[in-house]
Chain A
Amino acid sequence: MITVGVDVGSISAKAALIKDNSIIASRVILTGYNAKNAGEQVFEGVLADAGVQSSEVDAIIATGYGRNSVTFADKAITEITCHAAGAHFLSPGVRSIIDIGGQDSKAIVVDETGRVLDFAMNDKCAAGTGRFLEVMARALEVDLDAFGNMSLEADKAASISSLCTVFAESEVISLISKGERRRNIIAGIHESIASRVVAMGNRIGLTEPVMMTGGVAKNIGVVRALEKKINTSISVSENAQITGAIGAGLIARDRARNN
């Protein structure tokens, strides 16, 4: 059986092609202006990567903020349920998931089958999300991919107290003008994200083992800052960014099997 999960997020669109119990192919592209197009493109891309015709696909589930614009999907399911299913597949023992994507961050607690027991999400604010990091990378003129490693070299994390992305950016600019080292500022940014996300996670009670998913999981600095705050190690799969798409593909498979 072949199924595809399409995760159209606010910054990137992801697709994963699942055959029975394996991930055959996956793709990540920028969502851009048109979420519908991005969904179609990433879907076609993943089919091409796997060498599969669309007629061979048994079921498609869409997820992410653009889930309802993926009109060719059989059903739309939220990223909360999909990240839980994906994380459970990647690491079956996982009980808590911290997912930080482009425009939101979530904490999810799951049971031993990957079912969601509770979740919490950031409110109407971009602080503590991927977009926040992008804004900071621009202000610091540092490539976002270099953020993680640079922050690990910090001698002391700068303090960023503002909860608002725009004000935090001004804070960063004033730190730059005071001559604070970039790596220390970046470490401070990571700590501020970690504080927000952990406060949210504590609301629902994070249980070990903890996994991090979403695009921001690629940033080792954020992962380390989170680990320090919750005082436990956090696993990150190489498929962290496509966890939601994998979960969607798996749910599509299970649904198709049950039908």
Chain B
Amino acid sequence: MKEIMTEYYIEAKSPKEQTGKKIAWITSGGPVEPLIAMDAIPVYPENYGAMIGASKMGVDLCEKAESMGYASDLCSYARADIASAVINGGPIGGLPEPDMLICCNNICGTVLKWYEVQARYYNVPLFILDTPLCHTEYSPEIKNYVEAQVMEYIKFLEEVCGKKFDYDRMEEVGSLSVRGQELWQAVLDTTMNRPAPMTCFDAFFHLALIVTLRGTQTVVDYYEMLLAEMNQRVKDGISMVPDEKYRLLWDNLPIWYKTRWMSDKFAEHGACLVADTYTSGWCSALKYMNTDDFLGSLAEGYTRIFLNCGTDQMAENIMALAEKYSADGLVIHSNRSCKPYSLGQYDIQKIVQKKMNIPTLIIEADMVDERNFSESQIETRIDAFIEMLK
């Protein structure tokens, strides 16, 4: 994993005359496959945000953004990314400068302004794919609206890359993408076993590839290897949490600067976080994707992701996961940064408690900005929650 990611960033950061490839910054939920078909290198500021969080550089960068005038209520990924662009710093010495920006608002509305800011800063073209929220359904109007934009997206890529779009190559990339997602789903599903061979903290780590390199053979090879390893662990009865007593479900993004602490904290109680809504998100739209007509199904697949739906649907998703992975409880991260993901959590909590009668815990924190994490308060909540499960 480390080698793959290092190689990826080395290529992305190589002089463009050398690689001859365009760099495209893209949102985590954006349709990356057409970029790969065009031989551009996708770069993810959100993945970079996670790196910033995990390397505990979040507070410095957030403070820098605040001193530039951005509100402390703004998403910490956005703050950290905007600040690191200006100082040319952060992990791996900053991201490679983009030739274009691809912004899809299926994950949140903040990305619109964030990408506009960066488009102005780098003076590069920005493409916005607007995916209306599917409260209950994917209406014909939404379908037509998004499908028309997919065509515009291709035109945009042809202009920026200065070459024709290769539709055959697109279908190859599309099948690799679907294959990658299927394998990722299979990896996650190994935790249906008792004891689970991995936890969601492992998933947070292995997720990087399906986010950044989906649509490539590298991802398929890596997850095939990982799946084989997990299946072997299941066969050998190896559990990730020694003495697995409780199986819990995690909702929302990881708390990147505290993953180790959280993982140890839960493991100490024999609690295994068997699944989460976040890493499952990268295979949540599989059911809408068509391998035989990838480009044709792209609009629906990218519009109907787990974050771009109503609260009822989100609650349904959580309950389906709890059922599938036999969860004894639900841990909800109320993430100060991620509003669309955290909005409705109290309602979701009520729905889950009422329909499934499993205990739930809400932890208030932030994915990158450590100033919003109070260790002793969170420790007490987790300890008390586990005492309640006993």
Contacts and interface: CB of A to CB of B under 8 A. Distances in A.
Interface residues of B, number: 14
Interface centre among B364, B372, B377 (most CB of A within 10 A): B377
Interface in A66-85: 76-81
Interface stretch (B55-63, B225-233, B380-388): B380-388
B376 interface: yes
Contacts of A76: 383
Contacts of A116: 384, 387-388
A119 B380 contact: no
A257 to B, nearest CB: 17
B359 interface: yes
Nearest to A120: B362
A76 B376 CA distance: 14
Interface string A113-132: 00111110101100000000
Nearest to B388: A116
B364 A80 contact: no
B387 A80 contact: yes
A119 B385 CA distance: 9
Contact of A77 (B372, B381, B387): B387
A138 interface: no
B205 interface: no
B342 to A, nearest CB: 13
B381 A121 contact: yes
B384 A81 contact: yes
Contacts of B380: 65, 78-80, 121
A121 B377 contact: yes
B20 to A, nearest CB: 50
Given A123-B364, A124-B372, A203-B346, A81 B387 contact: yes
Interface string B170-198: 00000000000000000000000000000
B374 interface: yes
Nearest to B364: A123
A7 interface: no
B377 A124 contact: yes
B283 to A, nearest CB: 32
A65 B374 CA distance: 12
B349 to A, nearest CB: 9
Interface string B203-241: 000000000000000000000000000000000000000
A191 interface: no
A104 interface: yes
Contacts of B377: 104, 121, 123-124
Interface in B355-386: 359, 364, 372, 374, 376-377, 380-381, 383-384
28 contacts: A65-B376, A65-B380, A76-B383, A77-B383, A77-B387, A78-B380, A78-B383, A78-B384, A79-B380, A80-B384, A80-B387, A81-B384, A81-B387, A81-B388, A115-B388, A116-B384, A116-B387, A116-B388, A117-B388, A118-B353, A118-B388, A119-B388, A121-B377, A123-B377, A124-B372, A124-B374, A124-B377, A203-B346
Given A65-B376, A121-B377, A123-B364, 12 more contacts: A65-B380, A78-B383, A79-B380, A80-B380, A80-B387, A80-B388, A81-B384, A116-B387, A118-B359, A119-B384, A119-B388, A124-B364
